[in-house]
Amino acid sequence: MNAETEAVVVETRDRPDGVRVVTLNNPPVNAISSAMRRQLRDTMLEIDADDSVKGVVLTGAGRAFIAGADIREFGKPNPPGAPSLTAGVHAVEDCNKTVVAAVNGAAAGGGLEVALGCHYRVAGPKARLGLPEVNLGTIPGATGTQRLPRLTGLKPALDMIVSGDLVSAARALELGIVEAIEDDPVEAAAAIALARAPKKLREDDSKIGEIPDGFFDDYKKGMARRWRGFEARFKAVDAVAKIVLPYDEAVEAERAVFRECQGTPEARAMRHVFFSDRQAARHPSIPKDTPAGTVEKAAVLGCGTMGGGIAMNFANAGIPVTVLETSEEALERGLGIIRDNYSGTVSRGRLSQEAMDRRMALITGASDYADLADADIVIEAVFETMDIKKQVFGTLDDVCKDGAVLATNTSTLDVDEIAAATSRPEAVVGTHFFSPANVMRLIEIVRGAKTSDETAQTAMKLAPKIGKVGVMCGVCDGFVGNRMLYQYSRQANFLIEEGALPQDVDRVMFEFGLPMGPFAMGDLAGVDVGYLVRQERIKKFGRTNKRESTVADKIYHLGRYGQKTRKGWYDYEPGSRTPKPNAEVTALIEKASADLGIERRAISDDEILERCLYPLVNEGAKLLTEGIAARPLDIDLIWIYGYGFPRYRGGPMHWADEIGPAHILERLEHYARTSDPDWLEPAPLLREVAGQGTTFREWADAR
């Protein structure tokens, strides 16, 4: 594409007052393509040479100002002659006319850097501003690390750059990034452009001041716990720290770090998640133009831990929700837990009392099914046994209005069997929330064999409205997440029979980037809950001929149920969630090995990692072949938002592609040879992509 043929994405118009309005127009969000970089530079040079221009306003067309560099161009060679964005920013700043940014919408990444190249900035009420490059595993690469601190001071700039969050117009005003918020920012900007002389931010470091020794190291220490594994965020601090150098040198150093970040596995993973987040809602099984039902009134059955959390999501989103419980006492207890939850957030200063009161006012308790009759969606969160579920759905079928979505929060039961208990299985869908339901962002949206497109679409479109990521999957035992988790936990239990201890396995998983390992997770979820799920599986499927570890059952029979009893796989001090290894558990494990005739051996961290995660990936491959998961990205999002799989690794299937399916196959076959073969049978799809030297991503793209 050369200058002659490329689309015009930088438009100009002259106002009667001599101000030239430069509008960046590259739908949908004015991402900075190479064409835009070229046209912006050329436009500024033209203005420089045109004395009829008295001032310049830079703004964006549509809902965004500029969404930053075009992420789709990342990793691709820079077309010939396309100036760098840094050159574009300097062309704006060096313009001999005053240039004012009218920030009408999102100014993100390179978009904010362009605005920081302008001499002044005015925001519209809907503006959002930030440098979110770290969310793409990279850093601001067009002077942002040197310009933002010059406007806000070092600490606020570091907070914005490291969090990657966009701030509102009001916050940007507070921070001094913009100097006014105007309903018509172009008009206000034009006035400033005519009234003031150009002012170059690069020459103003009055906001930097004296930098205490160790300031940046201390800042990084403060980040260590929250941003563990997100390397780009730490590199961004190093880039900002170049502020002590002359501007040009500091910008060169920033550029070098930016380039270094672009090719990292973290950057590839974070880009994958960025686009996957946006593709999740466009599920291939739902025709694009399928209408979604509106949800103006919701209901939740059961106000226990899950039901209460689910209800809070609706109240948080401003949607009235009725919560039904079998007794007044149970209802009061459930509403009390919700109230305490909100009070806790208020006391931590993360919610105002008014907001809490508003949300509580949206939650209505009920004990009569008739109160659910006009709900647009009813989510059932009662005890996890099929008989109760069927009875509940039969009643819902009788009382709920036509067109209502009947959803079940089951995590293990057959959604089709539940739907069959109604006369409208097309209206039934699984909405599997994760605990704590008001915190965890994932909803596994389980589409039954008879779930209609409209019902599925309604659930998918509802998820982001209540602050969730909805990922669709089909019906099978454990759906996507728990079915893969089963293979992971099973391996972890075999590993401790063979020589490892819970703390070894958990350390390796924690260092890999998971919030905690399988045994600490078992204690959080409840060793008793795990035992009951296993019993339910045996009742449902009978004992399989596959060998199962029995250590977890032994821990259960010792009454060690986990954090709730302050002893499980680990011990817990009163009021502490820090797991402490326990000698009785170690002895129990060693005895289990002896009883199985297993001679305990030293097990390497690599073996622990491979034997826990490769079977998980392998199960993911089976789920893709069965169509339970339609795309690898669905599996990745389920594991990132439901199980805390590290975002900077992109999710299990993306991670597998980075490692190479062939290597994973080779290791699975290795372990099949050296231990119990039947539990590591490589999935046909894994064999296929490994055999063809391709990836799960390429397999999916080729379909």
Active site residues per annotation: 113, 133
Residues 129/167, Cβ–Cβ less than 8 Å: yes
Q: The tokens 């820079």 sit on which residue?
A: 78
By C-beta, is 29 or 404 nearer to ligand T1G? 29
Both structure tokens of 650: 């992109």
By C-beta, is 108 or 273 nearer to ligand T1G? 108
By C-beta, is 78 or 326 nearer to ligand T1G? 78
C-alpha–C-alpha distance, residues 145 and 142, integer Å: 8
By CB under 6 A, residue 136 contacts ligand T1G: yes
Taking contact as CB under 6 A, which single stretch among the options 136-144, 324-332, 410-418, 472-480 is the one that binds ligand T1G?
Answer: 136-144
Closest approach, Cβ 164 to ligand T1G, in A, equals 8
By CB under 6 A, residue 160 contacts ligand T1G: no
For ligand T1G, the binding residue among 16, 28, 246, 574 (CB under 6 A) is: 28
| Residue 214, phi then psi, degrees to nearest 5 | 75, 10
By C-beta, is 163 or 452 nearer to ligand T1G? 163
Taking contact as CB under 6 A, which single stretch among the options 133-141, 391-399, 419-427, 663-671 is the one that binds ligand T1G?
Answer: 133-141
Please give the torsion angle defined by the CA atoms of residues 617, 437, 327 and 539, in that order, rounded to the nearest 10 degrees.
10
Taking contact as CB under 6 A, which single stretch among the options 24-32, 290-298, 659-667, 692-700 is the one that binds ligand T1G?
Answer: 24-32
* Alpha carbon 398 to its chain's center: 38
C-alpha–C-alpha distance, residues 596 and 610, integer Å: 23
Q: The tokens 């999102």 sit on which residue?
A: 106
Closest approach, Cβ 71 to ligand T1G, in A, equals 4
By CB under 6 A, residue 470 contacts ligand T1G: no
Pairing relation of β-strands 19-24 and 55-60? parallel
By CB under 6 A, residue 29 contacts ligand T1G: yes
Closest approach, Cβ 406 to ligand T1G, in A, equals 30
Residues 342/360, Cβ–Cβ less than 8 Å: yes
Q: The tokens 């300031």 sit on which residue?
A: 215
Site string for ligand T1G, 251-280 (x = CB under 6 A): ------------------------x--x--
By C-beta, is 139 or 552 nearer to ligand T1G? 139
By CB under 6 A, residue 31 contacts ligand T1G: yes
C-alpha–C-alpha distance, residues 484 and 637, integer Å: 13
By CB under 6 A, residue 530 contacts ligand T1G: no
Q: How many residues bind ligand T1G (CB under 6 A)?
A: 27
For ligand T1G, the binding residue among 132, 302, 478, 481 (CB under 6 A) is: 132
The CA–CA distances, whole Å, from 186 to 26, 114, 122, 190 equal: 18, 16, 8, 6
Taking contact as CB under 6 A, which single stretch among the options 127-135, 297-305, 306-314, 668-676 is the one that binds ligand T1G?
Answer: 127-135
By CB under 6 A, residue 106 contacts ligand T1G: yes
Inter-axis angle of helices 265-279 and 652-659, nearest 10? 140
By CB under 6 A, residue 109 contacts ligand T1G: yes
The three state secondary structure string of 130-189 is ECHHHHHCCCCCCCHHHHHHHHHCHHHHHHHHHHCCCEEHHHHHHHCCCCCECCCHHHHH
By CB under 6 A, residue 144 contacts ligand T1G: yes
Pairing relation of β-strands 580-581 and 99-103? unpaired
Pairing relation of β-strands 55-60 and 106-108? unpaired
The CA–CA distances, whole Å, from 168 to 88, 586, 635 equal: 25, 53, 33
Closest approach, Cβ 150 to ligand T1G, in A, equals 16
Interactions with ligand T1G, residue window 39-98 (CB under 6 A): 63-64, 67-72, 85
Whole-angstrom distance between the N-terminal and C-terminal Cα of the chain? 29
Taking contact as CB under 6 A, which single stretch among the options 5-13, 135-143, 230-238, 546-554 is the one that binds ligand T1G?
Answer: 135-143
Interactions with ligand T1G, residue window 389-408 (CB under 6 A): none
Closest approach, Cβ 501 to ligand T1G, in A, equals 42
Beta bridge partner(s), residue 407: 379, 429
By C-beta, is 86 or 489 nearer to ligand T1G? 86
Question: What does the DSSP assignment read for 410-443?
Answer: -SSS-HHHHHTTSS-GGGEEEEEE-SSTTT--EE
Question: What does the DSSP assignment read for 19-80?
Answer: EEEEEE--TTTT-B-HHHHHHHHHHHHHHHT-TT--EEEEEESTTEEE--B-GGGTTSPPPT
Closest approach, Cβ 377 to ligand T1G, in A, equals 24
Give the residue among 674, 679, 683 at the shortest CA–CA distance from 548: 679
By C-beta, is 160 or 589 nearer to ligand T1G? 160
By C-beta, is 289 or 354 nearer to ligand T1G? 289
By CB under 6 A, residue 469 contacts ligand T1G: no
Taking contact as CB under 6 A, which single stretch among the options 102-110, 338-346, 379-387, 424-432 is the one that binds ligand T1G?
Answer: 102-110
C-alpha–C-alpha distance, residues 514 and 509, integer Å: 6
Taking contact as CB under 6 A, which single stretch among the options 129-137, 379-387, 414-422, 559-567 is the one that binds ligand T1G?
Answer: 129-137
Closest approach, Cβ 78 to ligand T1G, in A, equals 12
Give the residue among 154, 156, 67 at the shortest CA–CA distance from 115: 67
Taking contact as CB under 6 A, which single stretch among the options 132-140, 243-251, 477-485, 631-639 is the one that binds ligand T1G?
Answer: 132-140
Closest approach, Cβ 543 to ligand T1G, in A, equals 47
By CB under 6 A, residue 444 contacts ligand T1G: no
Closest approach, Cβ 486 to ligand T1G, in A, equals 33
Q: H/E element holding 14? A: strand 10-14
Q: Is the dihedral of CA 374, 377, 381, 386 positive or negative?
A: positive
For ligand T1G, the binding residue among 133, 497, 523, 634 (CB under 6 A) is: 133
Closest approach, Cβ 159 to ligand T1G, in A, equals 17
Both structure tokens of 229: 């594994």
Residue closest to ligand T1G when measured from CB atoms: 109
Closest approach, Cβ 700 to ligand T1G, in A, equals 17
C-alpha–C-alpha distance, residues 605 and 678, integer Å: 23
Binding site for ligand T1G (CB under 6 A): 28-29, 31, 63-64, 67-72, 85, 106, 108-110, 113, 132-133, 135-136, 140-142, 144, 275, 278
